[in-house]
Structure 1
Amino acid sequence: MLVRIRSKDGNFRFELSPTSSISELVNKILETTVDADPSTLTISNQPRGNETKVSGLRGRSLEALGLKHGDLVFVSYQARAAPSTSVEQGDVDGQPSTVKSVTTKNVWDAVQEDAVDSYWRSKDGKIPRGRDSRFCKHGANGMCDYCMPLEPYDSAHHTEHSIKHLSYHAYLRKIAPTSSSDSASLLPPLAPLTYKVKVPCPSQGHAPWPAGICTACQPSAITLQPQPFRMVDHLEIASTDIIDRFLQAWRATGLQRFGWLIGRYEAYDKVPMGIKAVVEAIYEPPQEGELDGLSLGVPWEGEPRIRELVKSASVPLTIVGYIFTDLDPTVEDRTKNVYKRHSQSYFLSSLETIFAATIQNANPTPSKSSPTGSFASRLVTAVLTATEDGQVDVAAYQVSEQACAMVDADMIEASVDPGIVRVKEDDQNKDSARYVPDVFYRYKNEYGLEVKKSAKPCFPVEYLLVNVTHGFPQNPSPLFRSAKFAIENRPGLEDQRVESVLSALAKIGAPDIHDSRHSANDDGQKRFELARWLSDMHLVSFLGTTQLISESDMNILIRTVTSPTLLEDTTSLDALLATDGWQTLMTFTRESAPQRPTSSAPDSSSRMDEDIPQDVFDQIAAQDSDSSRIRVCPHCTFENEHSGSDCEVCGLPLG
């Protein structure tokens, strides 16, 4: 007979004989669970109540228990305690040793979430409303249906304010109102989406895929639909200088560029329980740019070093996404660009969408609301592309969980048409077995009716995208105050050299700046210039590769140069000036500094022509001094008497 089982692990069916012992059913149930404690296993004929421990039913047959063909049995259990770690203590005064048992918590309880998640879990997230003079008939301290706070997922509020997606935490409150608390007794409500065949099959009735497959292990048919929530609601660029500096490479070469967005996550007040990604810098990995694209390696060189470095900033930073250019100047006017990404073509190409899904799969978000301890990803895809009037603007997106699951199951591929995604065919090759279930999508036909259509062999890429708004702050306050140092991995265009660093430090007079405890009358202007020059992500990253500064001193360096009060109170430099790494850097700066030129006028003992007046020698010396200020920019080859440390034409450092 067929016995149906329902537990927190899902629904299952087992073929058993009416005379089978309850122990056979228990063994099959345990195979479907995750680390269940058999002693706590209970069964019931109701979803709630009437639970009976199976340990008290041993020896009885299914028929004797009253089970018939097709009956549904509700199963519950507690997870088995993790293997205890025994710590033995030696005998003391002849007393026997004691053993302490240490047990671990659930996977999701041990997850360290981002600070913004901890912030929203501590809030109720309700949307406050003021007293309505038309309908509220109560006093100032009263409350009614017209003025009581709304839930963060209230659909009318989202429609009124043109908010297309729920925020991540608003979505959590909607699907599980009590999931916001940290109670360990609650089952996490978010299950990561997967379209892979379950191996081994839960039914254990056949050989594993690709040798066999059944309804218990094969994925269900997929219907593509807009994702109701988004992991990040807004992308904020801390300063326009960050984008301008990134664009300089494209302006100089015409080749497309790629960069990783370094920043942090903060609460976003324009959306109920919203989250925004704040970008503080762009790190450019090794890459090969082309006029119509680029190629790069993933994972990229130096990724572990950069991730560890930015964690030590005054506000811990991480990688919040990536950005790339897709700009093509028009033939008629080279100052304008081709408008190619719009509703009549595409926003992200199919190839870019699959790349975004791959990156998001590799960077999941730690979450206490998922049984695996992680869910989805907060990495944002940003594109610098042309607007309708030919100017350059940022567009930001994420790809849906369905897109990530389809890429993870190797179900889709890019097509020649950038706005179309192709669905792959089944492949039962032993080494690369692929099962592709039926895929459908809905659209409105010419009569305004919703039609369901098969997505095989292809479907529009827009079904996999999630829009993310973007912008710049009205009052910029970036952590990095400078963006003038040469950017990494721009060979032939910008070169990062130790000599450039030492020259700039000597020009500022850094070797003469000491800890304020030893030099109370230190030059404040020098400190200000040094602080502003050091506060550059590309400079800090480069110093970490010179081996002149130790790892611990690098942590002090980045923490110092990202201090919010760095330019207002330059005494914050004291911790950096006292490090061994800084002293080493200053030693090299002193040794590499050029000697001060002496007077061009010869002394009386060596003068070759006594008839030449002294003012002639002074004039020659002045001309030599003027000619020494003539410098050639290594980037644009402009030769002139530059007044500052940057080229007056291209704006890049003279080096």
Structure 2
Amino acid sequence: MSKESFVIRVESSRGMFRAEFPSNQATFGELQQKIQDKFGIAPDLQVLSLTRPSQPQFVKSNSKDTLAKIGLQHGQVLYLILATNQSEAVSTKQKEEKEAETDKDKPKAKSVTLKTSEWVNDPKHRVEDTGPKHVPFHEWIEDRQKKYANQPWNIDPPTFDYKPIKFENHVEFSKLPPNAVIKRQEYRHCDVIRFMDDKPIHKFKSEWEKSAEIQRAAYLIGRYELEENALDEKRKGKKLLYANVYALYIPPQKGEVYGVKLLKDPHEGLVDKVIAACGMERVGWTITTLDRSGKKYHGDIFMSGQEIFTAARLQEKYKNPNTGYSRFITLITRYGQKEAQGFQISDQGVAMIRQGLISPDEDRGFMKVNAAPPKVYLPAVINENKQIPQGETFLPDALLVNVLATLAKTIKPMFQHIHFPPNGTLEHLSKHLAYHKDKPKHLAFSDFSLLVFLPQVMDLELVCEVAQTVSKKEKLKPELEKRLDDALQRCLP
């Protein structure tokens, strides 16, 4: 883009693009033509707004009016409002263009998704997994135990110590950390993320798609379980580590067009106690995104730099304290697509972020090598056999570990309802009880969002007893039901 060019950014539920002109004397008709070329929507069917679609301020101009006359500024965002049929047509056009580009250029590796993994589960159909091959961690260790039977020091996975070194009077070369040579991880700590109940994730996705210009996130609540490998007949008898998901928890957050920021959760401790009472834990998180492909990214952005950074922090937070490894998963949910993509950040990637080597770049598809502070040594970062200078960027795909994503063949919900809102109040509690007044308590309270709300208004120990009973689908004992009724009378007006 030349310095003299004039750029208008056009944003829609199907992504954003830059319309570039020689100057602001270009006409509105020329802008409409660029939109038609990009999205396939004729000028007379284009609905443009100066403000977000929630409070639109429509652009009403003649096709011969200049952009300067309309009052548009260099870099300004216009919002293209798409009807349902238009959105579907744009999606089809983008898919066809992407397939054509893939045929022309060497494709990037793709992850196995909810859609493809369902085919994998069908023995009549086989789907080729063209993505990087990752071995279950326990198999990887077993193979190394055989290979290095006489060299036990080589069995454990590599450790990554990139801790910065301050230069003092004298630093021995042997004490400097090694360079960070980025390599794809051969193993994965969790193999499959499987939804045992499809209602929570479908509700989360459908509510987001009503206003998809703002991204959302939710924690995946479930259990890690080692089970027989039912996805690959060639590996029959082997086991996979599943993250079985039964519920979603929506934490405080700030959603933006290109991402979401998790905010401090004042109830985090209470929520985790209730989750544990149900015999579960936070096994991952899901984040939404619009389309964000581009040639400079060599196709899709699987995870943005900021998503990788946050995911690495979450993996660090929810790692196993005994092993130091994390099984925490990131699930990418895309607009208008049934399938989702599962990832982890490699152990090396987590270490590089933890020790300050890399950080998200302003360009969301890249990570940046951090500049060393004065009198501090940071190891060099090597990616694809090239050193990335400090302050420069690189595509972070090699830091990702693919995780299979699927729905359970047989749905096994833990909770009966998904009615209670994630930001519930006493008023919501009162309405919920009135609606379910004729049901036994273990059914009326069989709503995960309700259970994690209750510690805000009554005794935590009592709530945990109720949650434990409800999650097992057992009736409340008379003594427990009486204590619950007494607590409800105290907290409800």
- TM-score of the superposition, structure 1-length normalised? 0.49
Corresponding position of 1:413: 359
What letter is aligned with 1:556? E
Offset at residue 163 of structure 1 (A): 8.2
- Is the aligned partner of 1:171 residue 2:171? no
Any conservation in 2 of the 1:222–1:438 contact (CA below 8 Å)? yes
Q: Counterparts of 1:295 and 1:284 in 2: how far apart (Å)?
A: 12
User: Which residue number in structure 1 is paired with residue 194 of structure 2?
Assistant: 236
In the TM superposition, 1:251-262 aligns within 5 A as 251-254=209-212, 255-262=214-221
Which amino acid is the alignment partner of residue 246 of structure 1? Answer: F
Structure 1 residue 543 corresponds to structure 2 residue 442: no
Matches within 5 A, 1:182-197: 189-190=156-157, 192-197=159-164
The answer to whether the 8 Å contact 2:254/2:263 transfers is: no
* In structure 2, distance between residues paired with 1:163 and 1:588: 56
3-state SS, counterpart of residue 306 of structure 1: helix
For 1:4-59, what per-residue CA distance to the aligned partner results, in whole angstroms no more than 9, with x for missing partners? xxxxxxxxxxxxxxxxxxxxxxxxxxxxxxxxxxxxxxxxxxxxxxxxxxxxxxxx
SS of equivalent residue, structure 1 residue 176: helix
CA offset digits 1:46-76 (Å, max 9, x no partner): xxxxxxxxxxxxxxxxxxxxxxxxxxxxxxx
User: What's the CA shift string for 1:237-286, capped at 9, x where partnerless?
Assistant: 22221112212442344422111111110114226332111111111111
Structure 2 unaligned spans of 5+: 1-127, 230-234
Matched with 2:300 is 345
Give the structure 2 partner of residue 556 of structure 1: 465
- TM-score, normalization by structure 2: 0.64
Q: Which residue of the partner structure matches residue 581 of structure 1? A: 483
Secondary structure in structure 1 of the residue aligned to 2:175 = coil
Q: Map 1:37-116; keep pairs closer than 5 Å.
A: none
Task: Please point out which of 440, 448, 451 is paired with 2:382.
Answer: 440
C-alpha separation in 1, matches of 2:240 and 2:148: 17
Residues 417 and 534 of structure 1: CA distance in aligned 2, closer, same or farther (over 3 Å)? same
Deviations 1:370-417 (A, max 9, x none): xxx43221111111114xxx4343211001111111112211122233
CA distance in 2, matches of 1:325, 1:417: 18
Equivalent residue of 2:271, what SS? helix
- C-alpha distance after superposition, 1:272-318 (max 9, x if no partner): 332111111111111122333333325x33222111211111xx111
Q: Hey, what does 1:276 align to over in structure 2? A: 242
How does 1:254-653 map onto structure 2 within 5 Å?
254=212, 255-270=214-229, 272-297=238-263, 300-313=265-278, 316-327=279-290, 338=291, 340=293, 344-366=299-321, 373-386=322-335, 390-428=336-374, 433=376, 435-442=377-384, 452-456=385-389, 457-488=392-423, 496-509=424-437, 526-527=439-440, 530-547=441-458, 550-563=459-472, 566=473, 572-575=474-477, 578-585=480-487, 587=489
Structure with bigger RCO (C-alpha 8 Å, 6+ apart):
2
Instruction: Looking at secondary structure, tell me which structure has more helix per residue.
Output: 2
Residues 65-95 of structure 1: per-residue CA shift (max 9 Å, x gap): xxxxxxxxxxxxxxxxxxxxxxxxxxxxxxx
CA contact (8 A) 2:420 2:432 kept: no
Alpha-carbon shift at residue 188 of structure 1 (Å): 8.4
How far the C-alpha of 1:320 sits from its partner, in A, is 0.8
Percent same amino acid among aligned pairs? 23
- Residue 172 of structure 1 aligns to a residue whose secondary structure is helix
Letter in 2 for 1:499: E
- Whether the 8 Å contact between 2:164 and 2:378 is mirrored in structure 1 is no
Supply the AA of the counterpart residue of 1:584.
D
Partner of residue 33, structure 1: none
Contact 1:192 1:376 in 2 (8 A): no
Structure whose CA Rg is larger? 1
Q: What CA distance in whole angstroms lies between the structure 1 residues aligned with 2:436 and 2:186?
A: 54
1:577 deviation in Å? 5.8
Q: Following the alignment from structure 2 to structure 1, what is the Cα–Cα distance between the partners of residues 464 and 355?
A: 40
Deviation at 1:169, TM superposition (A): 0.8
**Please, which runs of 5 or more residues in structure 1 have no aligned partner?**
1-158, 199-207, 328-337, 367-372, 443-451, 489-495, 511-525, 567-571, 593-655
Aligned pairs for 1:121-136 (under 5 A) are: none
C-alpha distance 579-402 of structure 1, shift in aligned 2 (>3 A): same
Q: CA deviation at 1:196?
A: 1.2
Q: Secondary structure at the match of 1:427?
A: coil
**SS of match in other structure, 1:364:** coil
Aligned equivalents of 2:488, 2:268: Cα separation in 1: 28
Query: Are 1:557 and 1:576, in contact at CA under 8 Å, matched by a contact in 2?
Result: no
Q: 2: CA distance between counterparts of 1:533 and 1:579? A: 12
Distance 1:378 1:212, change over 3 A: farther
What per-residue deviation string (whole Å, max 9, x for no partner) do you get for residues 92-126 of structure 1? xxxxxxxxxxxxxxxxxxxxxxxxxxxxxxxxxxx
1:224 and 2:190 matched: no
SS of 1:418's equivalent in the other structure is: coil
Q: CA deviation at 1:586?
A: 5.6
Q: Distance in 1 between matches of 2:171 and 2:298?
A: 41
Change in Cα spacing, 1:163 to 1:424, as seen in structure 2 (3 Å) is closer
* TM-align CA RMSD: 3.1
- Cα distance change, pair 293–576 in 1 and its aligned pair in 2 (3 A): farther
Distance 1:555 1:358 in 2: 28
Q: 1:610-649 CA deviation, whole Å, 9 max, x = no partner?
A: xxxxxxxxxxxxxxxxxxxxxxxxxxxxxxxxxxxxxxxx
